[in-house]
Amino acid sequence: MSPDTAMTATAPAAEAAVRKGPPGAARGRRPGRIRRIGLPYLLLLPALLLELLVHLVPMVIGIVMSFKELTQFHIRDWGSAPWAGLDNYTVSVDFDAPVGKALLHSFLVTIAFTLLSVGLCWLIGTAAAICMQDGFRGRGLLRALFLVPYALPVYAAVITWVFMFQHDNGLVNHVLHDQLGITGKPSFWLIGDNSFAALLTVSVWKGWPFAFLIVMAGLQNIPRELYEAAALDGAGMIQQVRRITLPSLRPVNQVLVLVLFLWTFNDFNTPYVMFGKTAPEAADLVSVHIYQASFVTWNFGTGSAMSVLLLLFLLVVTGVYLALTSRGRRTAP
């Protein structure tokens, strides 16, 4: 906070003008002050209005909808849909009935998928960034290549993977079955249990470059003298990574892991392009599950209730995560 702006907020104008120094500054102070106070809000207005229109108001409406019995009969005039009380929620979390059971299954699949994907993305990204910390020939080219999966439009990349995972004419079966003979017969990758591995592969392929990019940027802020001092003290490569690199990256990792988690957990594009509107059970991520529950079965009330539950879960996880990681950071030396 600049001393100047701090004063306009707290100290009386006269006193501020005196302390400010040049006496000329006091002239025309009033209109200047009003503009000073109004201007930041004016600058924020467009962003605020748009966020309200596209995110916040729809979210509130979504929450209201979750308490309504909203089917295709009421979609033209959704306000007229009868209130459903907590029915949509009880249906969603009744794990003995089919709807709740399917949601729980989808939720657990998503958790497993997200943990594995985030873990692998972080590991590969960090390893690659550390490997490329010092200059070697072709480093710039390699860095550009590694960013290609991140730069490719999701649908183009995922459609290519879908082609590779085809049963009869795909590359994966050709290599695993025809060329290496690992599998007895060609496998199905986009239906059945294998679909989880297929989805994870695509997700990691697409996600790790972001971790790489962020960690690489974070590494540039670590002073080289730290490594030199450690090397003189006889610390080896692994020691240096453990004692200097990883602790220095902590603030970067705190944000990176959270962002990766939220993006992966909410990812709709990858499973939707891979499997279409109805995903195989083993790869039934919750975003597609809710889409399916809303737009395929035309039951928007229940779909909204599921979305609200998902949002609550993410809020709790984010809160706990930030509390835990921030406390750890403050007590650390």
Applying the rule CB under 8 A, the residues between 158 and 177 that interact with other proteins are 159-164, 166, 168-171, 173-174
User: With contact defined as beta carbons under 8 Å apart, do 49 and 34 qualify?
Assistant: no
Footprint of other proteins on residues 264-283 (CB under 8 A)? 266, 268-269, 272-273
Give the nearest distance from C-beta 6 to other proteins in angstroms.
6
The residues facing 68 across adjacent strands are 83
- 303 binds other proteins per the rule CB under 8 A: yes
Q: Which is nearer to other proteins, 91 or 293 (CB)?
A: 293
Q: What is the C-alpha separation between 294 and 81, in angstroms, rounded?
A: 15
Q: Token pair for residue 32?
A: 């200047």
**What is the C-alpha to C-alpha distance for residues 119 and 257, in angstroms, rounded to an integer?**
9
Q: Which of 16, 109, 118, 124 binds other proteins (CB under 8 A)?
A: 124
* 112 near other proteins, judged by CB under 8 A: no
What is the Cα–Cα distance from 101 to 91, expressed in whole angstroms? 10
Dihedral, 132, 138, 143, 147 alpha carbons, nearest 10:
-150
Looking at the chain, how many residues does it have? 333
Name which of residues 189 to 218 contact other proteins (CB under 8 A): 205, 209, 213-214, 216-218
Pick the binder of other proteins from 105, 227, 257, 325 (CB under 8 A): 227
Binding mask 29-68 for other proteins (x = CB under 8 A): ------xxx-xxx-xx-xxx-xx-xxxxxxx-xx--x---
Could you say which of 86, 231, 320, 323 contacts other proteins (CB under 8 A)?
A: 231
Residue 220, amino acid: Q
Q: Beta partners for 299? A: 71
Candidates 155, 183, 250, 296; binder of other proteins (CB under 8 A) is 155
If one asks whether residue 134 binds other proteins (CB under 8 A), the answer comes out as yes
- Specify the amino acid at residue 162: V
State yes or no: residue 108 binds other proteins (CB under 8 A): no
- The gap from C-alpha 57 to its chain's centroid, in whole angstroms, comes to 22
